[in-house]
Amino acid sequence: MKYFSFLLLLLSVTVNAQVQRHRAVTLMGSRFDITIVANDSLSAENYIDEAIAEIERIENLISEWRPQTQISEVNRNAGIKPVKVDQEVLRLTQSALHFSTITQGAFDISIVAMDKIWKFDGTMTALPSEEAIQKSVEKVDYRNIEIDTINSTLFLKKTGMKIGFGSIGKGYAADQARKLLELKGVKAGIINASGDLTTWGKQVDHSYWTIGITNPFETEDFVKIVKLKRYAVTTSGNYEKFAEINGQRYSHIINPKTGYPSTGICSATVFGPSAEIANGYSTSIMVLGVEEGLKLLELNPEYCALIITDKGKIIYSKNFKKSKFTKN
């Protein structure tokens, strides 16, 4: 009995000796906040370095801004020839096309080819013409993305097409960084990729990670606070980047099918096991609207949502209260 108590005492000392370290860095064009719980400061900092290296590895595969990446090569060869890519890139593209299929194009990674006719810097005072809007999406169509799984190639059928992973890419990177650190034995941490967030384990004081969902009308306030163990959360919203024209707020999230910005929803927050998948849902909900967005979410009961309309109404998906955030 004394031996058993001694083991508990040693365990307690080990836990109490743990440290929690945080670092903010710019990756994939966005701010990443990485927090790690480890046995000592040096280990924690080394693990953060490894997480950063993993995210940079992914960025060097999928960035459409870096000329040396596989995605940039795919874009340069649009309408010309298929390009061989890693299985990882192929899988991420398949994930994006899955969302395109189930939303009938409301989610589309080829939207990066859209002409930039909307401005969300406060300078826009009038809507673009209908002709300009229709022309802006001429090169946007997920159905022209061709995947060859046998030869591991991607081909964009139309000249001038482009694809990019600004939607699910950061969530995927956060997922992969978490996976890498878990494999290395890191018991707890949080990776926040500018709103695409993954967590696992508990904080150094044994409490769960506590996440506040921002009130888009009072950004210093929260509409909901949740506690997470191993989970992911993503938020898509228009309260930081938007255009206001004739009293109507237009989100920077564009409907790929119409060329018009999404309206009606200020923010869509989705919870579930994967930040990549959660972001696919949150982006799609912003475009589809509340009713169709909630129907979409019913296809995958592992994910739930909190939606705030542009009138300030808070709407929860049917399974939100049943989700056991701290019991995964």
Annotated binding site: 167, 283
Residue 156 to residues 60, 72, 147, 192, Cα–Cα distance (Å): 20, 12, 9, 32
Cα–Cα distance for residue pair 97/78, rounded to 1 Å: 17
Beta strands in the chain (DSSP E): 19-27, 30-38, 83-84, 145-148, 153-156, 188-193, 196-200, 209-215, 218-228, 231-237, 242-245, 248-251, 265-272, 304-309, 314-316
Binding-site members for Mg(2+) are 167, 283
CA distance 117 to 123: 12
SS3 label, residue 137:
coil
Q: Which residue has the tokens 């992914």?
A: 58
Range 213-251 burial, b when 16+ CB lie within 10 A, else e: bbbbeeeeeebeebebbbbbbbbbbbbeebbeeeeeebb
Structure tokens at 114: 């859209």
CA distances from 124 to 128, 179, 245, 311 (A): 9, 42, 8, 22
d(CA 321, CA 317): 8
- What amino acid occupies position 62? I
Distances (CA, A) of 226 to 30, 32, 190, 222, 321: 24, 21, 14, 10, 11
